Structure 1
């Protein structure tokens, strides 16, 4: 039990360091690839994000969604990429190769779609090498470049607001 507390403290320290050294790169590049981090215990509909990617003119092969669960991976066997707290080590290290591969991908945008204040989810967002990070209103506002205040269950509100702001920022690629 004591070790769990020390591990959590080391992960918090790593999260704070990652957030403090993050360099935000503002440019006019269009979003062509999209990564999504979601908490499967809060929302479990993958099709919502596929529809969102389609509305943003992102090809299906350029969309990757990972799910995090507090339970065991076996409980969510319908997901290709579902992770749990056991996939995280000390000082924010990632034990799973597939998860590390997702985090190393330089997405044009990353959507962090979770409302719970959970250390592992915040670490995933901070560790991601995405250029532009988008999230719903959370306790820690340092993680995302664009924050859309909406309830986790109101995905259509989130989607409409996201499209509106990405259009204003000139981030949506025109259909060709």
Structure 2
């Protein structure tokens, strides 16, 4: 019972932290070309991370400039083939990150970040908000403050997402 109450307080502190980040966020959209790319996705929704490598290749991001992180809600159900994945235990109170690798991902100033998830999960939203990426792209529609650019597709429509993303990045002269 006490553990459940503490978990609720922790979630409230992280929601408050998320709102403070999003409310103080300044948009910084420019015409810089995308040379580095970060990807955040929920492995519980989509397991094919090769899709993201193909996306990076299509927008001419070199493999050494691509970083992909996967989030899972349950560490027990995490697939064995994915090297590194993150879950709620990697987050402390007030948005504190308890995992060094995850913190180093968040500290990279990517030219673009793709947040490819549909589930409205606090930890995923924290990752997107805490990223130092210059241009944030996503499909989650519940909080438009998270991303600079939202492509309204369904999660299973990855090829449509990819096509639309490439089209708009060309229009914005980012590739």
| Equivalent in the alignment of 2:133 | 130
Tell me the distance in 1 between the aligned counterparts of 2:95 and 2:7: 13
2:78 paired with 1:78: no
Pairing 1:88–2:91 present: yes
2:106–2:130 Cα contact (<8 Å) kept = yes
Quote the Cα distance in structure 2 between the aligned partners of 1:74 and 1:102.
Answer: 23
Secondary structure at the aligned position of 1:24 is classed as coil
**Are 2:120 and 1:117 equivalent residues in the alignment?**
yes
- Determine the structure 2 residue equivalent to 1:148: 151
Gaps of 5+ in 2: none
1:117-169: CA deviations, max 9, x gaps?
Answer: 00000000000000000001321111000000000001000000000110000
What is aligned with 2:12?
9
Separation in 2, partners of 1:118, 1:137: 10
| 1:162 pairs with 2:134 | no
Instruction: Give the TM-score, by structure 1 length.
Output: 0.95
Aligned residues: 172
**Structure 1: which 4+ aligned runs deviate by more than 3 Å?**
none
1:30-69 → structure 2 map (5 Å cutoff): 30-69=33-72
Q: 1:139 to 1:68 in 2, by over 3 A?
A: same
List runs of 5+ in structure 1 lacking aligned partners: none
Distance in 2 separating the partners of 1:16 and 1:90: 14
Aligned residue number for residue 29 of structure 2: 26
How large is the RMSD of aligned CA atoms in angstroms? 1.0
Conserved 8 A contact 1:73-1:83 = no
- Give the secondary structure class of the aligned counterpart of 1:76: coil
Change (3 A) 1:146 1:7: same
Quick one: structure 1 residues 2 and 148, their matched pair in 2 at CA, closer, same or farther if it must change by over 3 Å? same
Provide the rounded CA distance (Å) in 1 between the counterparts of 2:79 and 2:23: 34
